Amino acid sequence: MISKIDYKGLQISSWLILLMPLFLITGPFLPDLSLVILILIFLYNSFNLKLKNFYQEKFFKFFLLFYVLIVFSSLISDYKLFSLKSSLPYIRFGLFTLASYLIFSLRKENITYLSKIFIYIILILFIDAMIQYLFSYNLFGWKVDDSNFRVTSFFGKDEVLGSYVVRFFPFCLSIILFAKKKLNVSYSKYIYFFILASSFIISFISGERNSFFLILISTITIILTCKNLRKIFLISSLIAILLISILTIFDKRIKNRMLDFTLYQLGLTGEKERLFLFSEIYEGHYTISLKMFKEKPLFGHGTKSFRKYCGKKENYLAEGACTTHPHNIYMQLLAETGIISFMIVFSIFIFLAIKLAHISYASFVRKNSLQSDYITLIYIFYFVNLFPIAPSGNLFNNWMSIIYFFPSGYLIYLKNYDANN
């Protein structure tokens, strides 16, 4: 197999994988272009090398089932052509998984390189975010949004700094942990401390309350399941929470955004007559989603149909309730692709919750490890990113989908690596 490999294509693919975290900061164009090039090279190699076993992976079969369902939901949608534009090309994310699996299998050193890239990216984002927080301008001269105080760093007008760092957080740790033998072990604990503390602080000063919620869930789950990281994470999280508490006490901008405004949106303060789930606007999103689900419960209205449906006058609910997506992946699945697709994704979350509970029990009660920590961290990545009650981005958006699928090829590689070693 190695003798027939397209080495130039392999080198290009490696660079595209390594630069993907950086490309995601620039917006959707470069990541998607890289994805297409990566897939074309993989398809050429898989045909040339007859890599039929790659397509036999359980993950890919599971993905194909989900893919067929979302395409079918588009075919029977009232917004057929619009919906098919997002569902048909969705196959690229399943192929992205297989392509990254091949790259990690053939060039294991990429994991070490990727770990260093993640460390440098988080370091640079942390420095730039702190500069923007302290001086109102980042290194590029982009001003912080004073109206609701959102630190965005290099993401500019896109308020996703916290989401980017926190969603990648367990994946980043897994990469670093696996590559640790190639790094200087003497200072690896300081790297873990920095990654956790900086992720906590970035998520907080970015004003993204959901990101802060997810970093808390991630940290608690890591402490419960990853025996080798437990001590350093307990210490690091306590220090990070202390720093955040100080910021909340002495900075009114942070307090107003993260505490006062949250209580107001929930209906706990102000003149609102009742409590709300996250906010009045989010509750509007969910109400419209459930209405869509009741109309077409089996296969939904088609991918990305939420914006079309809620835009109609007869479906108007309240100001702000209509947007591009429902801001929750499960509500989006129910509304746009129906109950079967919903159950597929929700079953993954339930499986992960049970798996992590078993790992935690073995770690605390039986004092042993059922799973390598670097694999457990990828389980935590998906457990957190699929957390049901957390608001989220558009499931069928290419930026979010790349984040969701980026660790999957790496996970397949790790499972095979552990099985063979």
What DSSP line would sit under 35-85, residue for residue?
HHHHHHHHHHHHHHTT-GGGGG-HHHHHHHHHHHHHHHHHHTSTTHHHHHH
Residues written for the chain: 421
Single pTM value for the model: 0.93
Count the neighbouring beta carbons within 10 Å of the beta carbon of residue 153.
29
Cα–Cα distance for residue pair 302/74, rounded to 1 Å: 4
Cα–Cα distance for residue pair 147/407, rounded to 1 Å: 36
Position 198: which residue type? Answer: S
Cα–Cα distance for residue pair 381/375, rounded to 1 Å: 10
Check: CB of residue 305 under 8 Å from CB of residue 83: yes
pLDDT in tens, the chain (421 residues): 444 566 788 899 999 999 999 999 998 899 999 999 999 999 988 887 777 778 888 899 999 999 999 999 999 999 999 999 999 999 999 999 999 999 999 888 999 999 999 999 999 999 999 999 999 899 999 888 777 788 999 998 889 999 999 999 999 999 999 988 655 556 788 899 999 999 999 999 998 888 999 999 999 999 999 988 999 999 999 999 999 999 888 888 888 877 766 666 666 666 665 555 556 677 788 889 999 999 999 999 999 999 999 888 777 666 667 888 899 999 999 999 999 999 999 999 999 999 999 999 998 877 777 788 999 999 999 999 999 988 888 999 889 999 999 999 999 999 998 888 7
Query: Of 287, 335, 355, 391, which Cα lies nearest the Cα of 78?
Result: 335
Check: CB of residue 82 under 8 Å from CB of residue 308: yes
The residues, ordered by sequence, that sit 6+ positions from 165 with a Cβ below 8 Å of its Cβ are 122, 125, 198, 199, 202, 203, 211
The residues, ordered by sequence, that sit 6+ positions from 146 with a Cβ below 8 Å of its Cβ are 136
Cα–Cα distance for residue pair 92/406, rounded to 1 Å: 12
Determine the angle formed by the axes of helices 161-178 and 7-26, rounding to 10 degrees.
Answer: 140
What DSSP line would sit under 123-181, residue for residue?
HHHHHHHHHHHHHSB-TT-PBPBTTTTB--GGGTT---HHHHHHHHHHHHHHHHHHTGG
Sequence-separated contacts (24+) of 403-407 with Cβ below 8 Å: 403/24, 403/164, 403/167, 403/168, 404/93, 405/93, 405/94, 405/96, 405/97, 406/20, 406/96, 406/100, 406/171, 407/171, 407/174, 407/378, 407/381, 407/382
